[in-house]
Structure 1
Amino acid sequence: MAELLYRLGRFSARRAWLVIVAWLLALALAVGAFLTFGGTLTSTVTIPGTPTSEVADTLAEEFPAASGGAAVVAFTTDNDSPLTQAQRQEISDLLERAGEMPGVRETVDPFATEEAVEKGLEELADGRKKLEAGEKELAKGEKELEAGRQRLESGQAQLDGARAALEASGAPAAQLAQLDAQQAQLDAARDELDAGAAKLEKGREELEANRDLIEDSTAVTEMAAEVRQVSEDETTALGTVMFDKPVIEVDVDEKADVAELFTDADIEGVDIELSNDMVQAIPEVFGPGEAVGLAVAALTLFIMLGTFVGAGLPLINALLGVGVGVAGSMALSGTVDMMSVTPVLGLMLGLAVGIDYSLFIINRHKTQMRGGMDLHESIGLANGTSGNAVVFAGATVVTALAALNITGIGFLGLMGTVGAICVVVAVLIAVTMTPALLSLTGHRVLPKRQRGTIVPLSHSTTGTKPMRTSRAVLQSLVGIGVLVVLAIPALDMRLGLPDGSSQPEDSSAYRAHTVTEEKFGAGMNAPLLVVADMRRTLDTDAEGMEAQAEVGTALRELDDVDAVAPIGVSDSRELVAFQVVPSEGPNSVATEQLVHELRGMGWKFGTGIEIGVAGNASGNIDVSEQLSDSLPGYLALVVGLSLVIMVLAFRSILVPLTAALGFVLSLFATFGALTAIFQWGWLADLFGIHAPGPILSFLPVIVIGILFGLAMDYQLFLVSGMREAYVHDAPSRVAVQRGFKAGRVVVTAAAIIMISVFAGFVFSHDAMIRSIGFALAFGVLVDAFVIRMLVIPGVMHLLGDKAWWMPKWLDRIVPNVDVEGAALERNHPGPAMEHEEPAGA
């Protein structure tokens, strides 16, 4: 590989304009592909196959009126006075116009809904009164029937007595015939009473059935009345826009047109705020914070390289790389669902590694030029040595990012793929564009004072003394102790997804969330859709109402439920659905527990009823749990990869182990800092966090992948210098110090550049990007400066020769990848190199 990169570097140097034009053409093609094939981005996080998505599919099939996406519009008076009748009418008219727009199935008028509920309660009250009147009539009929029976029994007794007397006296048959006629009249009267009794019994049965229906209907309607659409003080109303499709599938232009209708509306004295589902903004790709980060990176490059020309080359390469990588990746957005943070992640990585990778090659070239090496030879050799390490380091980052596809979570795999594409482009540009630009700039890459002054290149370790063992012990313990303390908050880390409360305070989504919570309770921002499979057919309306009342009452009795609104019976007559309003918001622990309690409460009914839960809050909980479950496996995979890669790179067992354990330490320290700041709210004002909450659910997985790659980069660039000194026959502890001194400047600069680029995203308006930027910046900070430059040198010193031990059988089968390019240097020595032996270890 080193020899191939050497030749590639010399070719790029000799054909500089060909390489530059080729990359500019690639940029043009990538931008053209994006403009031609690019689609829209989404801020919604979904994972197919979760319990929520399964219930959502059921809703779409069985409850068409309750399926599709929904977005809430909050109407509130600007002076906190009750809505006037004129304002109510304008709001109703506005919602009616919205219901006629493309992509909208219907809208829900809060005033019409409240009126319908009130009317339903009034009708039920009238029905109850009629029922009571019917009961009185029935009681009166039963009383009259009983009196008739008593008269009939009395007449029968008299008739029987007369018949007995006549028969005893031997009365003629004519007199007995008269008694038979009277008996016939009594029998007819008895038949009439029996018919009346049967009619009264039927009436009582109907009355009881009506009583049950009215009781169930009353319970259902009273439950529905608890889910208010107009606040108790009548200052705020919540309208609902029901789309034809789920929110994530709604055409962006159609949703934007609906949002524009509301934002352009002018109802005097009424503020109109749109929920997060209506105005999910696509974050800006580049803003002031990112510009400041690039400025810091440029300053660092200038301080290290000493010229504006040298400092400009890595920036040009990085910007070209992200242009090709991000634009090319976004061309895929027309064919796959792509999250809005995906290209931003590619931008972060492309800028950071693009600058660093070019810096490593330029720094090596600059050192060789000062040693008097020929321009093209120096470019080729720098490309074959530092470029070889760049390719190997880039491969570790790409491998970690590509491994995100193994999680089986689509949007994570796509994020990893886009990130990997941007890193591959950065590597290719580093080993082709960098040599081309270095060829054009010539000796101008060196400061004027260094031109013409030759500093002999040397691998000599003369004068290099190993660190004291006591210092090695101290810095190792201090570094590990600091990271363990930083990691403690991670024990309390919770995962979740942003809601309206995490949006910028000046946004409509934040105001809609806030006013809804203030006027209706936190749970109105986290409504749940609950579907109960009754496991039987509800043939009549009465059976359907009874099922709704039974299940709804049980739901209402749960501790963390504020209100329950029955939705109805499914088309198949086997399911009943409800809207459940939790007591707390979408990201609260109570709401998460409620979702699990709802799903497990079917046993309470004793008939095999199954309960399913859907809704945005439920979906976010399922996504977060599935991502949390994927963490251990992915972390184990990444650690395993790190061990394999480090064994290949350093032909050692203990060096890979220290590298992997150091990565795990820095990772959990990063999780601890994330938890303390973004979840607990420490230093919240400094980072612009106005609503601390759970950690972004997919962030830990992303951080594992990216931080692993970057940690291995620094391990390679720092420890490869130690190995380079060691293979040039320096004693192990002297080699540690030599390699550390040789690599600390470039690694420090590279880390500062990465930190500044990532930190530029910490002040983004988007909550997801803000937390990603912080996690990556902090992760690089602790990994580069605590693990790689403090703990690793100390541990390597303490290990001594054992650090490079490798079993003979493994040494025979592991290929020699020669990361440091030692073989290439021997084949292309350039100016004479010094190889003096140090005096002792």
Structure 2
Amino acid sequence: MAKLLYRIGDWVYKRPKRVILAWLLIIVALAVVTLSSGMKFSDSFSIPGSKSEKAGKLLEKATSTNKNNDTSTIRLIFKVNNGKTLMDTSIKDSIDKLRTKIQEEDKNVLVVSDPYKMMTISENKKIAYADITYNEKADKVSEESKNKVLQSIGITRDAGIQTELGGDVSFSELEIVGASDAVGLIAAFVVLLITFGLFLAAGLPIMTAIIGLLSGLMCIFISSNYVDTPVFSLSLAAMIGLAVGIDYALFIISRYRQNVGEGYSLQESVSRAMATAGSAVLFAGVTVIIALSGLSLVGVPFLKVMGLGAAAVVLLVVVASLITVPAVISLAGERISPKRKNKIFKSIKVKDKKQKHSFWGGIVSKYPIIIVVSVLIVTALFSYQALHLELGLPDNGAKPKNSTERKGYDIMSEGFGKGINGQLIVVADASKASGNYLVTLQEVTKEIEKLPDIKFISPAIPVGNGKLAMINIIPKSGPNDKETKDLVEKINKEAETIQKNKKVEIMVTGSTAVNIDTENMLSKAMPKFILVIVGLALILMTLVFRSIFVPIKAVLGFMMTIFSTLGFGVMVLQDGHLSGLFNVAAREPVLCFLPILVTGILFGLAMDYEVFLVSRMREEFTKTGNAKQSVISGIKNSGTVVTAAGLIMTAVFLGFAFNVDANVKSMGITLAFGVLFDAFIVRMTFVPAVMVLLGKKTWYMPKWLDKILPKIDVEGEDLMKEEQVS
């Protein structure tokens, strides 16, 4: 592998303009296809084969003959204060005027319900709601229609009525790359500038990362027309692609500059950087791709699509790093040489490169036992928080407190109880029932009504032309409360008795039911997924580092990172600590698929830092045979770059932590902490301390096993041997 990448680096260095032009033409071609085909994203969380999914399909099939089946709603939520009530004439006139204006000005509106006729008014007459029903799905409701609603609600707001919005049409649009993400990029640029001391060298990693990222995102745009793709998968792919793209380019450019500093020519420096750092980039990238693709094992379609989409972006980012980085280095020439520095950095004193070890390397080698114990204590403190992890699906209650959806959510809870935001839909199939099926459905409704935690239950409402009915239930508790989940479980248990005695099949759907099905599916898949991930790590690390203990240490560090990250996620997203800083809804359950998603992503990223840091240590050990000195030397030569890479990736993820979308925000927050913890607590602290304690045993490998395993050269050993022979 090292020899092949050496030749690629040499070939690209001689043809930089042609390589850059070819890549730009690829981007243009993808852009043309994207513009011509468009894009189509969804917000589906259904689980194939689950009861909630089956119930949803039955309802959809029963109503398929209705030409207005594709509908969506915007909920107008009203609250009056200052001693007034909704019964006041002025208040009623303002609401009627608003309803009429919306109905008349938008041809896509089917109906605007009347809260006075529908009796959707709270007992104290202070809170009410009206639904605007559109003749199209939520994702098809135009910005023009949304703007008309936003402008129209000025009628009631000017009349002193607090008016907020809810429903299934979102007003807080997902930002793929927003202002907060730009701040993350700026922070990454600052880290690169401090690392290299040159504006041009600092900008190159970001430029090459964006080239690969744009290519990958446009591939997702195109594939969304053929595959059901969750909209927030774009942000996941963007944050991972951007972070690893910058890091990979950083490693190659850093090694190139080091080679130049050692006296090699510019062309030879590029080729050698590709053979060594490039090999590590390729291996690390493949590891991330495999980890993301591993999400396919879970059996959840939207996670599979998210994982494969992000994996495709990482693949293109890796290719861009290995192809465009040597090209831009060739074009930059001496302008990114380590001998050059911008004026603002010339006064900064740099430590002598010839010193035997860095400050941190000396600390780690001197106090390994204290460091290992301290890291284990810190890990235990964070991991302990994960013991009370609660999972759920995001709703308007998880949105920022200043958003209209969140305000409307809180007003609805205040006026009608928490259960109004998590209504359950019970689908009753009486096709096999004997006698009058309508009477049977009434009896079924009475049986369900006896269950606890039900605030309201509607009569069985026939749906379609068959013997199918829908029963609406409003729980006393909130959509993500344990009591509501228990109610769904009790309904499912009662369904077995009803099926046996009444020959009526009962299924529950709605966000809470989908949440339970998703949680059960992921709980079953998580052990298998972790087993595959851990097994993969052991095999890959053994192949690369020709050691038994290095892979075990790497997996142990990975598990420490995962449990600590989940603990931090519970502290912020669930318990509400630092909620003001990140503008998150306090005391909301953690996104149900976040643990398995974070596990897959952090595995790949953790292995990145393990490869970049430990491969350099092995390279030194191969040369000197001194285990302790190889650890110190590895920290000295790669520590600065790994530190910069960790800070860059953390900055990029933190940018996404301030995204308006609750899913993206939770992923950004947990991944930022996970990378920070893994890079600095595990890889730069725990790993070298353990290696110092193990000494030469770190690199122990049975001879029989070493002979039968295929060899993967990521340190350029073959090149060094050829150099010694010549």
The two structures have a TM-score, normalised by structure 2, of 0.90
Q: Distance in 2 between matches of 1:252 and 1:528?
A: 23
Query: How much does 1:107 deviate?
Result: 5.9
SS at match of 1:338: coil
Match for 2:511: what amino acid?
N
Q: Distance in 1 between matches of 2:497 and 2:361?
A: 75
Equivalent residues of 1:538, 1:573 under 8 A apart:
no
Q: In structure 2, do the counterparts of structure 1 residues 75 and 290 end up closer, same or farther at CA, with 3 Å as the change threshold?
A: closer
Match for 1:232: what amino acid?
E
SS at match of 2:478: coil
Partner residue of 1:298 out of 189, 208, 222: 189
Partner residue of 1:253 out of 136, 140, 143: 140
**1:175 corresponds to which residue?**
none
Query: How much does 1:47 deviate?
Result: 2.8
Match for 2:653: what amino acid?
F
Q: Distance in 2 between matches of 1:426 and 1:502?
A: 32
1:616 correspondence with 2:515: no
**1:555 corresponds to which residue?**
448
Equivalent residues of 2:620, 2:633 under 8 A apart:
yes
Partner residue of 1:750 out of 630, 645, 665: 645
**1:130 corresponds to which residue?**
none
Match for 2:381: what amino acid?
V
**1:532 corresponds to which residue?**
428
CA offsets 1:494-535 (integer angstroms, 9 cap, x no match): 121211112233333222212211111111111111123457
Partner residue of 2:231 out of 320, 335, 340: 340
Matches within 5 A, 1:162-201: none
**1:112 corresponds to which residue?**
117
**1:642 corresponds to which residue?**
537
1:86 correspondence with 2:93: yes
SS at match of 1:73: strand
Q: Distance in 2 between matches of 1:416 and 1:699?
A: 12
- 386-395 vs 735-744, which deviates more? 735-744
Matches within 5 A, 1:155-554: 229-241=120-132, 250=137, 252-254=139-141, 256=143, 259-266=146-153, 267-268=155-156, 269=159, 270=161, 272-279=163-170, 281-448=172-339, 471-534=367-430, 537=433, 540=436, 544=438, 546-554=439-447
1:702 correspondence with 2:602: no
**1:34 corresponds to which residue?**
34
Q: In structure 2, do the counterparts of structure 1 residues 91 and 558 end up closer, same or farther at CA, with 3 Å as the change threshold?
A: farther
Equivalent residues of 1:385, 1:824 under 8 A apart:
no
Equivalent residues of 2:77, 2:128 under 8 A apart:
yes
Equivalent residues of 1:307, 1:446 under 8 A apart:
no
CA RMSD of aligned residues (A): 3.1
Equivalent residues of 1:684, 1:690 under 8 A apart:
yes
Equivalent residues of 1:562, 1:583 under 8 A apart:
yes
Partner residue of 1:656 out of 529, 537, 551: 551
Match for 1:265: what amino acid?
S
SS at match of 1:705: helix
Matches within 5 A, 1:64-83: 70-71=72-73, 73-79=75-81, 81-83=85-87
Equivalent residues of 2:106, 2:145 under 8 A apart:
no
Q: In structure 2, do the counterparts of structure 1 residues 625 and 262 end up closer, same or farther at CA, with 3 Å as the change threshold?
A: farther
Equivalent residues of 2:365, 2:628 under 8 A apart:
no
Query: How much does 1:638 deviate?
Result: 1.0
Match for 2:387: what amino acid?
L
Q: Distance in 2 between matches of 1:587 and 1:69?
A: 25
SS at match of 2:506: strand
1:794 correspondence with 2:689: yes
SS at match of 2:334: helix
**1:588 corresponds to which residue?**
481
Match for 1:505: what amino acid?
K
Query: How much does 1:335 deviate?
Result: 2.3
1:761 correspondence with 2:656: yes
CA offsets 1:372-404 (integer angstroms, 9 cap, x no match): 211111111111111111111111111111111
Q: In structure 2, do the counterparts of structure 1 residues 520 and 390 end up closer, same or farther at CA, with 3 Å as the change threshold?
A: same
Match for 2:150: what amino acid?
T
Equivalent residues of 1:76, 1:237 under 8 A apart:
yes
**1:131 corresponds to which residue?**
none
Q: In structure 2, do the counterparts of structure 1 residues 311 and 703 end up closer, same or farther at CA, with 3 Å as the change threshold?
A: same
SS at match of 2:187: helix
Gaps of 5+ in 2: 343-350
Query: How much does 1:108 deviate?
Result: 4.7
Q: In structure 2, do the counterparts of structure 1 residues 97 and 75 end up closer, same or farther at CA, with 3 Å as the change threshold?
A: farther
**2:461 corresponds to which residue?**
568
Match for 2:238: what amino acid?
L
Match for 2:93: what amino acid?
A
Which is higher, the Rg of structure 1 or of structure 2?
1
Query: How much does 1:407 deviate?
Result: 1.9
SS at match of 2:461: strand
Q: Distance in 2 between matches of 1:442 and 1:88?
A: 69
Equivalent residues of 1:523, 1:586 under 8 A apart:
yes
CA offsets 1:403-435 (integer angstroms, 9 cap, x no match): 112222221121112211221122112222111
Q: In structure 2, do the counterparts of structure 1 residues 609 and 548 end up closer, same or farther at CA, with 3 Å as the change threshold?
A: closer
1:726 correspondence with 2:621: yes
Equivalent residues of 2:573, 2:585 under 8 A apart:
no
Match for 1:473: what amino acid?
I
- 337-346 vs 14-23, which deviates more? 337-346
- 612-621 vs 788-797, which deviates more? 612-621
**1:153 corresponds to which residue?**
none
Gaps of 5+ in 1: 115-228, 833-841
CA offsets 1:803-834 (integer angstroms, 9 cap, x no match): 2122222211111111111212333579x9xx
Q: In structure 2, do the counterparts of structure 1 residues 439 and 617 end up closer, same or farther at CA, with 3 Å as the change threshold?
A: same
1:101 correspondence with 2:105: no
Q: Distance in 1 between matches of 2:12 and 2:458?
A: 70
- 282-291 vs 559-568, which deviates more? 282-291
Query: How much does 1:309 deviate?
Result: 1.6
Query: How much does 1:569 deviate?
Result: 3.4
Equivalent residues of 1:393, 1:716 under 8 A apart:
yes
CA offsets 1:92-134 (integer angstroms, 9 cap, x no match): 64676599637x5x665443334xxxxxxxxxxxxxxxxxxxx
Match for 2:326: what amino acid?
P
Aligned pair count reads 705
Q: Distance in 2 between matches of 1:464 and 1:763?
A: 33
**1:25 corresponds to which residue?**
25
SS at match of 2:452: coil
The two structures have a TM-score, normalised by structure 1, of 0.78
Equivalent residues of 2:656, 2:668 under 8 A apart:
yes
SS at match of 1:626: helix
1:738 correspondence with 2:629: no
Q: In structure 2, do the counterparts of structure 1 residues 829 and 686 end up closer, same or farther at CA, with 3 Å as the change threshold?
A: farther
Q: In structure 2, do the counterparts of structure 1 residues 827 and 403 end up closer, same or farther at CA, with 3 Å as the change threshold?
A: same
Equivalent residues of 1:3, 1:384 under 8 A apart:
yes
CA offsets 1:656-695 (integer angstroms, 9 cap, x no match): 0110111011111000000011101122222222333111
Q: Distance in 1 between matches of 2:452 and 2:56?
A: 25
SS at match of 1:239: strand
CA offsets 1:57-85 (integer angstroms, 9 cap, x no match): 22234466897665351341554531435
SS at match of 1:600: helix
SS at match of 2:367: helix
